[in-house]
Chains A and B, each alone.
Chain A
Amino acid sequence: MPNSRLPRLRRISQIFFLVLFLALLVLTSLRSLPGTTPDIHLRAPVRLFFLWDPLVALVNALASHALYHGLVLCLLILIPTFFLGRFFCGWICPLGTLQHFVGSLPSEAKRGKQRIESNRYKRWQTGKYEILLAGLVAALFGSAAIGWLDPFSLLVRSFGLSLLPALGLAVRSTLTPLEQSHVGAIRTTSQIAHTVLQALVLEFRQPHFAQSVLLGILFLVLLLAGLRVTRFWCRALCPLGALLGAVSRWSVLGLHKDAESCDKCNRCLLDCQGGDDPIGGAKWRKAECVMCMNCVGSCPQHSLRFRFFRKEPEVASPDLGRRKTLTGLAAGVAVVPLMRANTGLGKSRNERLLRPPGALDETDFLSRCIRCGECMKVCPNNALHPTLEQAGLEGLWTPTVVPRIGYCEPSCVLCSEVCPTGAIWQITPQEKGWVVGVGQSATPSPIRLGTAFYDRGRCLPWALATECIVCEEWCPVSPKAIYVQEAEVIDSAGNSKTLKQPRVDPSRCVGCGACEYACPLQDRPAVYVTSIGESRSPSSQILLNRT
């Protein structure tokens, strides 16, 4: 195939993987209920992009000394990179594609000479290697915090928790009034549009997420930075790009420059994505090139060509230097202890930090969780939200159950099924142990997220002489963890009433939060779950003997 056709092929590949990514993201929800079996699983391989992400795998291996199942798929990307260079960044990565697209939009800051100048290699492009080094060392010390900057984590977090919910609201607020229009044609059209969008993108129930605004703005800023500097994210920040750049030093595919025919017209620099100096006379920077192949197509002299087994002067490794390497390493060494010197772990754990079912103990959890937000996206009850400060700075954007918004559904284990790193270890509904089906016996030790407590100053039968016990009705375990005792109370008129006052049996409570969710006192529920007694943490228990 002539080299000049490659950019078109690349574009097809980019669009394909972007659409695949978005499709899998949208399918990370209950929309695709299969068959008639009562167990609910997602059919689509929704965590695919994380499984073949070598950065996630490497961090997982460094922090947990093992590879969580599925992550071995990263070899699919890693091994070809040894031979072919950073093709992943230019041809597959959906965030790269979005950056590529934004970078090719007309922009005041990139006209003519400025555009050529902005596409020359810059020293700040080494920043991503420092980030990578810091992230890997931090992983070695037991923190997967680099997930903040993993491109897929960033994408799923931003799209799943912010942009898609916003899109849903926009669609609903546009279509709902139209569906009530007096004009039949408008009504029918909008109803059809609604049904189609419901099937394709919208969630059954409009989700809302903590920090949605922040996550959305951060993403848009990063994306729009591409208007000033093409692929700013990929060149300056992306730790996955840095990793792939570092391992592509041995790659046998590279840019062949015919120095004699090059007349320094700079056209190759106009559309260069990586900032890797494709122009004749300069050394090609292998680790920066994302193999977009634009330069090949744009060279009027046909002096550029991608070739196997070439032997030419080049800068193969990241141009990092001793000082920057040391800075990156030192940052990685310092960051975990610094973050953990704060309160947050051990005895000072936040009482409202309720991890999803299957989550490992906090230290193990933080060493695996890449803050991708898959669990939050998939939760059918909108129960999981990214933390801000509840899990300390290190735990920023890790998942927590917010029972007032959504409780943990007894038979549901979807969050554990989509977690790519085993921070939420994959469990079955039987292991979760909250309900007992046919042919099963009650699990002796169900997974517990915490324990419910009553605020007797707010509870209707306790404080307001009013009948209620909705919490008891909703309690999903059997025997129920909420029991009632009849009590005589006096109302304001002096009449005596007999009411059922609820109490919690901590040995039965699993901390699902259904009581808190169902409590009529919606602003500050009279029953609430705190993390004490969560089964993942041996040091956070109440009872001496809790079966």
Chain B
Amino acid sequence: MSEEANSNPGSNLTQVEGQAHAPAEERSQRMSRREALLELLRLGGIAAGAAGAGFWLNERSRRPLPAHSEQARRDHRVAANEQWPQLTVVQGGEPRDLVRRAFEDLGGMGRFVGKQDVVVIKPNIAWDRTPEQAANTNPEAVAETVRQCWQAGAKRVIVTDVSCNEPQRCFHRSGIQAAARAAGAEVILPETELFREVELGGVVLKSWPVFTPFLEADKIINMPIAKHHNLTGATLGMKNWYGILGGQRNRLHQQIHQSLADLAGFMLPTVTLMDCYRILERNGPTGGNVEDVVLKKTMVAGTDPVALDAYVAKAYWNLDADRLPYLQMAANRGLGTPEFEKVRFKVTRIG
């Protein structure tokens, strides 16, 4: 019985096959039930995935706003020390000796740069000019600062700036690239990819792109050069912070004093060393003619950036602090005092 029962369906099948060709072909062109289920499963999987992705993306829909943005005041100051002056003026030597002496007077680089610190030195490398034209910081002064940082035990010493003119030309023709590299520093050119949007927390300066190396430093040494400027009379230490920003910074001049104070309140350097070796007395801040340059053989260094700017403005352009309102704005934020006569002050002549 059971054999019969078993053989019957089989014989039926052969019969069907034998009787008509067409339905058999049709059947072989069809999926088996198993295949069909698998296919449905596959399609269902894709459909579920598409639906999931669709709803997930739908959830994510936001009006695009500028990416936000770290809020961080960069305070790189070291503890005040009554033993050392807050402002020192060294005169009468070559850049290298002037710089060495200036840091000695302030207590030595070891006071500012600790072992394993990442130090970023910020000279002014804004313009496609040679050192003699005095539009950029003196390369010898930069190199000496780099050496001092190494001696103090720094882990990395970086020299960088966000130039106005074409950066490769500026870094090369200023002589700073070669001098800093010879002293062992990393020289970083301002690449467009290396900016990060930062909340500066200023009165007029809110969110701006800042060049990343300045955000990742342990210590920052500001190395401006003193130059004439038509808008404020002189461009000094705090103006050097324009060079940490990217973006459309030609708008900063509309409220230059507030911008300067905002920047100074965001970026507080470990120490400032102002290059007054050559001073661009006219046609600043670009100059271009050696006749605009006067040799002063001076470096001014200090831990009070407000007093430092106030002193240099008075000493070389006879500008009182009230002519530079940003000084008082910065003082109001507790960054220093424009009354440079009242800080611990030292003047040295060498050579």
**Using a CB–CB distance below 8 Å, which chain A residues touch chain B?**
30, 33, 35-36, 38, 40, 172, 176, 179, 204-206, 380-381, 409-412, 434-438, 440, 442, 460, 466-470, 472-480, 484, 500, 518-520, 522
Contact = CB atoms under 8 A, between A and B. Distances in A.
20 contacts: A30-B169, A36-B175, A38-B172, A409-B128, A434-B288, A437-B132, A438-B290, A442-B289, A467-B253, A467-B254, A468-B253, A469-B230, A470-B250, A473-B231, A473-B253, A478-B282, A478-B286, A479-B283, A484-B230, A520-B254
A356 to B, nearest CB: 15
Given A474-B164, A474-B286, A480-B283, 20 more contacts: A33-B168, A380-B166, A409-B128, A411-B169, A412-B128, A412-B169, A435-B133, A436-B291, A437-B130, A437-B132, A438-B130, A438-B132, A442-B289, A466-B254, A473-B231, A478-B288, A478-B291, A478-B292, A479-B282, A519-B250
B254 A460 contact: yes
A381 B251 contact: no
A410 B128 contact: yes
A470 B126 CA distance: 14
A411 B289 contact: no
B192 A205 contact: yes
A217 B253 CA distance: 43
A469 B288 contact: no
Contact of B231 (A36, A442, A500): A500
Given A468-B254, A520-B250, A40 B173 contact: yes
A204 B253 contact: no
A518 B130 contact: no
B289 to A, nearest CB: 4
SS class of chain A's interface: helix, strand, loop or mixed? loop
Contacts of B253: 467-470, 473
A40 B169 contact: yes
A204 B285 contact: no
A438 B295 CA distance: 13
Interface string B139-169: 0000000000000000000000000111111
A134 B287 CA distance: 51
B178 interface: yes
A522 B286 contact: no
B129 A518 contact: no
B230 A204 contact: no
B191 interface: yes
B229 A473 contact: yes
A345 B214 CA distance: 52
A448 to B, nearest CB: 15
Interface in B176-214: 178, 189, 191-193
A479 B287 CA distance: 8
A112 to B, nearest CB: 36
B256 interface: yes
Interface in B36-63: none
A84 B25 CA distance: 70
Contact of A473 (B254, B286, B291): B286
Nearest to A205: B192
Contacts of A478: 282-283, 286-289, 291-292
A204 B193 contact: no
B324 to A, nearest CB: 14
B285 A206 contact: no
Contacts of A411: 128-129, 169, 173
Contact of A437 (B167, B251, B286, B290): B290
Contact of B168 (A30, A477, A518): A30
B248 interface: yes
A357 B164 CA distance: 21
B174 to A, nearest CB: 9
B231 A467 contact: yes
Interface in B265-295: 282-283, 285-292
B189 A409 contact: no
A484 B230 CA distance: 8
Nearest to A407: B165
